[in-house]
Amino acid sequence: MLDFFTILTKGGIVLWSKTFARITNSPIDALIKEVLIEERGGANNYVKDSYNIKWTFANELDLVFVVAYQKILQLAYIEELLATIKKFFCEKFAEFIRDTTKLHKYTFDDDFDSILRTLEEKDSKNDILKPPTNPTISEEVIARNIEAVHRNGGGKSKSRGNRSKKSAAPNGDFSEYVDKKSTKKVMRVWDDKLTKEEMNSLDYSGQNENIDMSSTAIRQNLVDENNLGHRSQDGHYEVADLKQDEDDESYDDDEYDATSENVQDDNTTKGSSLFSFFKNITGQREINEEDLTLVLANMKEHLIKKNVAADIATHLCDSVSRTLVGQKIGSFKSIRSIVKQSMESALRRILTPKTSVDLLRDILQAQSESRPYTICFIGVNGVGKSTNLSKTCFWLLQNGFKVLIAGCDTFRSGAVEQLKVHVRNLNALGQNSVVELYERGYGKDAAGIAKDAINFAKANGFDVVLIDTAGRMQDNEPLMRALAKLVTVNNPDKIIFVGEALVGNEAVDQLTKFNQALKDFSGLQNPRHIDGIILTKFDTIDDKVGAALSMAYTTGQPILFVGTGQTYTDLKNMKVGHIVQALLKE
């Protein structure tokens, strides 16, 4: 049913992976590039080619668990599978994952198979309407798991004495050693899990909270606090004492008793309160969802006050929450500052362009192919398309390019005259500037005029064609169709969306609908989309710069320029750091 399941670090290193079918151009890279890095991790699944992909983070260990299956399938147990595998894997291997001095081998196939089988079976039973918690299943699972554990290494640990010397020989690497160690870990983990955790984790009656709670409870029970290593100042977990491990191995049976004793200790004696005090102060605490709820709610409100679209603020906070839950909180750090830090890097990532914004370099490229470079300015009414087109023109003229402006706003009266004035001004401003207006008056087909303009530019050695289009509301279908036609017929090098910085929640709607129209009405297999954004009237908004974020997030495209006034020099490059600061400022 599944196509693959992969466990990898956030650094991109695959720890364990199992494929069930041939994978064509790995969708994991696409998932990381298009969803996770873009801070769209608040979403639940991702569809790429024929795959449906789901994932979960284990932030305390910096891991990502990814599962993919054919998108035509409806698999109800995927979420449970991810949660269960995550918990088992983390508990079994936490020490190895933290110990980066060696490359460890993660023997997990059998465990994975048994978990998967259990869930699949449970799923098929659910189909015929059995109650969700079925005791017989738990027993089955337990039996099978025990079997798996034995198959996995029960034998090995018995004959440990003999093997320990031999084991170094075969590959000359340390994987054997790790195997052996992990075996021991399995025993310890399973022992406890058989009784309570297993039951809990298989009680899938619904709430995630249940699972989470049991997992923290288990962590407390399973991790012998005295054996806890410490975190060095650079954040690496240092395992306390290797000798301890060896003891564990030789006295497996005793250790089981000791564990259960510890459990009782924790629950009954007052020692635990002293310990939890100590834990808080030394930074052993993990961030949980409740910690974050309030802080993130405040953060969300703050972002909305900065004019970020509400939906986007919500997505973003969800995404940040997902990357924080489970992370160890450093000593003397408040949740608030961690959230802020994490939000800062998320904002930075969203605003940083992922494609080159060097327009001049693009134009040089077109020049070397001896064709004019075409830029089309689109957007709703009155946002500043014509004005910022002229500013862009001014900058291009300063760089010595010959510019043709195509007056394709054949709709609003005065639009052509407005451009005429700009062209006259621009000609007057620079001595050697070459700029002309190509216009055919009003009421004609804009797509045709643009086409003629481009041909005219080609014939007359212009370097750049700037296409001015009529403002249109995103819901006006006839006009949106006309725009899509203009784009399809002329295939401009860049489609620039001009938007006002004053816009709030509207930003998302505008951009999505413009993109949708370009796609739906084009009739092309690879339709065009908005390639970049100019954010205008930036001088009028103080530090309410949320629109920049909303627009960059919605399109995934860079903000090429910001308009900061009404003169020709009021066009600037956006500075990511500046926006991030303004967004976070109290």
Ligand X SMILES: Nc1nc2c(ncn2[C@@H]2O[C@H](COP(=O)(O)OP(=O)(O)OP(=O)(O)O)[C@@H](O)[C@H]2O)c(=O)[nH]1
Which residue in the set 536, 550, 555, 557 belongs to the binding site for ligand X (CB under 6 A)? 536
Structure token pair of residue 39: 């801070």
| Binding residues among 408-427 for ligand X as defined by CB under 6 A | 409, 412, 415
Residue 385 engages ligand X in binding (rule: CB under 6 A): yes
CA distance 510 to 342: 29
Number of residues that bind Mg ion (CB under 5 A): 3
CA quadruple 278, 198, 212, 113: dihedral positive or negative?
positive
CA distance 417 to 475: 27
212 and 289 Cβ atoms separated by less than 8 Å: yes
Interface with other proteins by CB under 8 A: which residues? 6, 8-14, 17, 26, 28-29, 32-33, 36-38, 62, 64, 100-103, 173, 233, 273-274, 277-278, 281-282, 331-332, 348-350, 352-356, 358, 360-361, 364, 395, 398-399, 561-562, 564, 571-575, 578
Amino acid code (one letter) for 135: P
Residue 510 engages ligand X in binding (rule: CB under 6 A): no
| Number of C-beta neighbours around residue 19 at 10 A | 12
CA 64, chain centre distance (Å): 12
Among the listed ranges 10-18, 36-44, 284-292, 521-529, the one in contact with Mg ion (CB under 5 A) is: 10-18
Which residue in the set 100, 227, 460, 540 belongs to the binding site for ligand X (CB under 6 A)? 540
| Number of C-beta neighbours around residue 101 at 10 A | 9
CB of 242 to other proteins, least distance (A): 19
Among the listed ranges 156-164, 253-261, 318-326, 386-394, the one in contact with ligand X (CB under 6 A) is: 386-394
CB of 530 to ligand X, least distance (A): 15
CA distance 355 to 231: 39
* Sheet strand arrangement including 63-70: 2-9, 63-70, 51-58, 45-48
CA distance 222 to 90: 12
Among the listed ranges 334-342, 422-430, 558-566, 576-584, the one in contact with ligand X (CB under 6 A) is: 558-566
343 and 320 Cβ atoms separated by less than 8 Å: yes
14-22's contacts with Cβ under 8 Å and 24+ in sequence apart are: 15/63, 15/93, 15/97, 15/104, 15/106, 16/89, 16/106, 16/108, 18/109, 18/112
Residue number, 216 or 352, with CB nearest to Mg ion: 352
Phi/psi for 381 (5° steps) reads -65, 140
CA 408, chain centre distance (Å): 39
Q: Which does 331 bind (CB under 5 to 8 A by kind): ligand X, Mg ion, other proteins, none?
A: other proteins
State the pairing for strand pair 63-70/51-58: antiparallel
Among the listed ranges 43-51, 511-519, 521-529, 536-544, the one in contact with ligand X (CB under 6 A) is: 536-544
CB of 391 to other proteins, least distance (A): 9
CB of 327 to ligand X, least distance (A): 21
Which helix or strand (DSSP H or E) is residue 533 part of? strand 532-536
Comparing C-alpha atoms, which of 486, 581, 493 is closest to residue 532? 493
Residue number, 38 or 506, with CB nearest to other proteins: 38
Taking the CA atoms of the chain, what radius of gyration do you get in angstroms? 30
CB of 152 to other proteins, least distance (A): 22
Residue 12 engages Mg ion in binding (rule: CB under 5 A): yes
Among the listed ranges 378-386, 424-432, 433-441, 551-559, the one in contact with ligand X (CB under 6 A) is: 378-386
Structure token pair of residue 10: 């956030």
CB of 358 to other proteins, least distance (A): 5
Residue number, 92 or 385, with CB nearest to Mg ion: 385
Residue 6 engages ligand X in binding (rule: CB under 6 A): no
Residue number, 9 or 276, with CB nearest to ligand X: 9
| Binding residues among 443-502 for ligand X as defined by CB under 6 A | 471
Provide the 3-class DSSP secondary structure of residue 148.
helix
CA distance 241 to 226: 10
Burial (Cβ within 10 Å: 0-12, 13-18, ≥19) of residue 516? middle
Residue number, 232 or 268, with CB nearest to other proteins: 232
186 and 153 Cβ atoms separated by less than 8 Å: yes
Write the interaction track for Mg ion spanning residues 353-392; mark x where CB under 5 A is met and - where it is not: --------------------------------xx------
Residue number, 175 or 522, with CB nearest to other proteins: 175
Residue number, 153 or 558, with CB nearest to ligand X: 558
Q: Which does 233 bind (CB under 5 to 8 A by kind): Mg ion, other proteins, ligand X, none?
A: other proteins
Residue number, 37 or 524, with CB nearest to other proteins: 37
CA distance 6 to 12: 11
Measured from each CB, the residue nearest to Mg ion is: 386
Residue number, 13 or 473, with CB nearest to other proteins: 13
Residue number, 386 or 392, with CB nearest to Mg ion: 386
Beta bridge partners of 54: 45, 67
Residue number, 28 or 486, with CB nearest to other proteins: 28
Q: Which does 497 bind (CB under 5 to 8 A by kind): Mg ion, other proteins, ligand X, none?
A: none
Q: Which does 282 bind (CB under 5 to 8 A by kind): Mg ion, other proteins, ligand X, none?
A: other proteins
Among the listed ranges 135-143, 260-268, 502-510, 557-565, the one in contact with ligand X (CB under 6 A) is: 557-565
CA distance 556 to 246: 52
Residue 283 engages Mg ion in binding (rule: CB under 5 A): no
State the pairing for strand pair 571-573/230-231: unpaired
b/e burial code for range 140-150 (CB count within 10 A of at least 16 → b): bbbebbeebbe
Residue 383 engages ligand X in binding (rule: CB under 6 A): yes
The residue ranges that bind ligand X (CB under 6 A) are 12, 379, 381-388, 409, 412, 415, 471, 536-537, 539-540, 563-566, 570
